[in-house]
Structure 1
């Protein structure tokens, strides 16, 4: 019990002596001592422009108003740090022994003026202490005032920050909070930094190994976690004050639009599949000249996942990108999905005619480089591709998408699509296709699934204009298509000419070929040929790609033989795409050419026509009347079915 009382007495006496020393030691004197030690450590002058008061709570030390820390000699006259109020915390035990050990610096509403010079050194890198000294310890001065100084914690609240990296634009931000814990001058520092570039907090928390060396510009280990709106990122690696770093970055965002807003960018309504939510991981290297290298990259954009490598040059204008990516099924169907109006209602369909809304292709000038993509499948709003290899190359606002090849519609598609915005927008293509199933291709592209058969061919086109309407009205080019055996459903061409020889609503052909030219938005075809078992058919006319109209004549021929050219019944389709007029063109009706020298052959033909048409045919008038009735009854009905009006 006596021992306990002695210990308590010693503690009370020590506290009493400490309080007495602190009470009679002027705050201005402590401020001078602290300023001397800070200047010895940093080589920078500290100026107290306002009142200096001693404080016991919440921090043992002094409170000073209007404080400024001088800048580096090369950085200009503006102070490195100014603060409306600065609290300097000191260690009581060391203070009693006559030493000043700064345990805490807290600045209220400070302003940091940071910049770097050409060699990358920042004005926050202080002059090295004299030989044999470290930045954490300074020998006793000649007057014996203070023997050491160490700053264990720094707190900035409501700070404003100006950062001028050499040769780059000045960055300024407000409402910055910083907490730095650095208990061991030669050890690790823990940093908790909060930025508010757009009002929302962006928090950066982590640890920096060998913090003293880091401040001197050397490379140090770094582990940092960044959190923002519904987003989190982690970096583990090494970095230096120049901004260079090398390590693994992993991150995820549940709302990328909210993240962009928190970073001070405009909100973006990304289509589903392009990154409304995303995850990211990559071995990342960044150099101060703006070059980024991504290796072992893993990127998930909503339900789409990509892997590969990429290199970027962020300092280049336009942005330089080289990437090689691969993935499984890539779903981009939301890109062409109908938009929704207020209340979630689907927007009204577009009126007839091409859109005259200007096309903004300015993004082609924002990026240059080459991106290769190898996926097991690709789905858009209208087309589903199989395994596909594609390369996108962009140079001076000209983009070339190469198919190398693409599996599409049961066949293969290869060639190039080009968009050029150097002097106004133009689009072009040079495509070859083989073994393409027409039912699948036309079904996905045009909603028409009544033509069956495998096709091969090619297409070249060029269009110029700043809207879809201008481009379609300017299209020039050419192409050819060839089909093997196939059939039309919903249109029985044979039954039009032969009521007893139809195929139950299907036209079966042995082959079909056609070529075409495009000039100023008008497609012209004069050589369509289809071979059937007992018939043949030809087609010729124009299709207005820009005006969305057509004038096309389809001519089936029956009863052809060595002695007869047969009977041809032209059918003319003309008018708008959306409501064409379909009628027999009797002005071009070709009657049987009989051998006038052989009456027997004439009669045989008449008999055959009477049998096929189901009415007596004795004169030319009989033939015209019979053909007119047959065409009106059968051709119109079958062709309407063919065009999807059944």
Structure 2
């Protein structure tokens, strides 16, 4: 028991002696000692401009007001770090032995003035320390062991970051907590920045932190969390920001993520990344270039794989990518809004008109570059493509989609589609097509599904406007189409010409050709030719692409021959695409029936005369000749009889 008491007494006396020694060390003297050690290790002068007080509680060390850490020589006269108050905690036992081991470095309301020079080196890289370490070799390593910082805390810091040749970034309310218990070991970092007021938190580890601070490459791992988003980085990095490793991440709300990162807001269409999942082997260089390999990217319901190269320092962002995917659903890009409750009683008429909802094409300005896509299909609200190879080239808010070719509407398309949002939105296309099913094509592109047949042809168009209604009402262009066998549903030309020979409400044709021109949303055609089994038909008129109406006249012709023009009955189709009025000219249907009755009567007379006269009678001349011969024959018989002959 006495031994224990003696040990406790010795321990208390030792601690009391240590505190007594420390108490007699002036705060300014201790500050100078700490400052000398920091300057020796960093090559930067530390200035204590205010009061310096020695403290025993809650931290053993000093509290200094108005503290500044000098900047790099090339970075200008402004200090790299200033703080309204700096609390420096030291280890008492090491201090008694003449070593300075800082257990705590807390800056209250500090300001960080960070920048990089042309080669990417930041002013936070302490070049003097690097030079000393390189020159002194192992001795420098041994000497530096007498100086270490176990913990750094920045509360409510402000930050100014000026990357060379780029816009200055300023942030406030930055919090940092760094723990580095082993000078030759791993440091853990907990950093929170608020680029736009919302917290972005980085929690990570840096292996061989001392070498990392000297500019060498070290292993790193970090988790970044912010507004409904999380990412993980594992790899190797250095102080310049260079990184090589694996990055994974996900965001449930990319709009919130962009806002948290201080990026300009953009309305992202469904299918292009309102939610995101990402994984890739990633290489980042200090000039803002990112190389992504073994890339997997999910944008809402769409998933692609491949590789990409991104230049984030360019404005706008530059992207080159080669991607593969299944069927991409982009139907939200041009989908009409759902009808309101007030439209329910209109029989769907309101829903049939083109959408007047503004189209937000601002996403076209987010990047420049070229993306190649090898996909199993692509869907929008207006068209569906099959297995396809596509390239998308974007430059200054103008996107060109090249079809190389693509499978669509049962056939093949090639050409290009263009969306230009430089001075308001415009869309254009130059397409050729073969073996396309017209019911699918016209049904998806124009809402008209009454023409069936396999077609080949070409189409050029241009439309301008910020809504589907404006674009369709402004369409200009031209095209041509040629169909093999096919049919129209909704009217029967053959039944009009021959009630006993119709096709059950459809007009069946053996072939069809037409060309057309579009102006201000109206398509005009005057050379439609269709060949039917017993008829031929021609057509001309207009189709309102914007108004979704038509006024078109078909003119079928029957009983035509080399010597006769046949009988023609125009059929006019007029009104809405969805419920057109079809009216033939009935007055021209009567004459053929009357002529037929008259012809039948004449034939009966000719047959009777042939029987009575004993000779064939086909024409009025035949009748006259037959009667004349009959009279002459009867006169000869009577004369011979009169003369006594047989």
TM-score (norm 1): 0.82
Rate the CA distance shift 1:341–1:291 in 2: closer, same or farther, 3 A.
Answer: farther
Q: Which moved more, 1:311-320 or 1:52-61?
A: 311-320
Distance 1:385 1:568, change over 3 A: same
Alignment partner, residue 132 of structure 1:
136
1:377 corresponds to:
377
Q: What is residue 169 of structure 1 aligned with on the other side?
A: 167
1:365-411 C-alpha deviation (Å, 9 max, x unpaired): 55332211111122222332221211112345543211122222222
Q: Which residue of 1 aligns with 2:610?
A: none
Name which of structure 1's ranges 419-428 and 286-295 shifts more when overlaid on structure 2. Answer: 419-428
RMSD: 3.7
Q: How far apart are the structure 1 equivalents of 2:441 and 2:605?
A: 44
How far is 1:516 from its partner? 2.1
Deviations 1:217-265 (A, max 9, x none): 3322221111111111111122222222221111011222222222123
CA shift for structure 1 position 315? 2.5
Secondary structure of 1:186 counterpart: coil
- Taking a change above 3 Å as real, the CA distance of residues 578 and 447 of structure 1, as seen in their structure-2 partners, is closer
Aligned to 1:625: none
Match of 2:178 among 156, 180, 191: 180
Q: Is it true that 1:116 corresponds to 2:116 in the alignment?
A: yes
Deviations 1:596-623 (A, max 9, x none): xxx979956999xxxxxxxxxxxxxxxx
Alignment of 1:17-416 (within 5 A): 17-126=17-126, 127-128=128-129, 129=132, 132=136, 138=143, 148-339=146-337, 364=364, 367-395=367-395, 398-416=398-416
Confirm or deny: 8 A CA contact 1:67 1:86 kept in the other structure.
yes
Which position in structure 2 is the counterpart of 1:452? 452
Q: Kindly tell me: are residues 438 and 117 of structure 1, through their superposed partners in 2, closer, same or farther at Cα, counting changes over 3 Å? A: closer
Residue 62 (structure 1) shift: 1.4
Report the CA distance shift for 1:359/1:179 in structure 2 as closer, same or farther (over 3 A): closer
SS at 2:136's partner residue?
A: coil
Checking the alignment, whether the CA contact within 8 Å between 2:276 and 2:297 is kept in structure 1 is: yes
Find the aligned partners of 2:420 and 2:258 in 1 and give their Cα distance.
30
Question: Deviations along 1:293-336, whole A, 9 cap, x unmatched?
Answer: 11111001122111111112222344322111111121122223
41-50 or 350-359, larger mean C-alpha shift: 350-359
Aligned residues of 1:121 and 1:217 also touching (Cα < 8 A): no
Q: How does 1:504-583 map to 2 (within 5 A)?
A: 504-519=504-519, 521-545=521-545, 550-561=550-561, 564-574=564-574, 582-583=582-583
Q: CA deviation at 1:202?
A: 0.7
Between Structure 1 and Structure 2, whose CA radius of gyration is higher? 2
Aligned pairs, how many? 597
Structure 1: segments with no counterpart, 5+ residues: 140-146, 608-646
Say if 1:463 and 1:475, in contact at 8 Å, map to a contact too. yes
SS of the aligned residue for 1:335 comes to coil
Give the CA deviation at 1:287: 1.8
What's the secondary structure of 1:315's corresponding residue?
Answer: coil
| In structure 2, distance between residues paired with 1:6 and 1:439 | 103
Q: Which runs of 5+ in 2 are unaligned?
A: 607-646
Closer/same/farther in 2, CA of residues 277 and 419 from structure 1, 3 Å limit? closer
TM-score (norm: length of structure 2): 0.82
Distance 1:60 1:166, change over 3 A: same
Structure 1 residue 37: Cα displacement: 2.1
Taking the aligned partners of 2:475 and 2:506, their CA distance within structure 1 comes to 34
Q: Contact (CA 8 Å) 1:530, 1:538: kept in 2 or not?
A: yes
Q: Contact conserved, 1:162 with 1:172, CA < 8 A, in 2? A: yes
Cα deviations across residues 1-52 of structure 1 (Å, max 9, x unaligned)?
4543443233222222223223333323322222222222223222222222
CA spacing shift, 1:528–1:368, aligned 2, 3 Å: same
Matched residue SS, 1:58: coil
Greater helix percent: which structure?
2
CA distance in 2, matches of 1:154, 1:99: 19
Give the 3-state SS of the residue equivalent to 1:50 in structure 2: coil
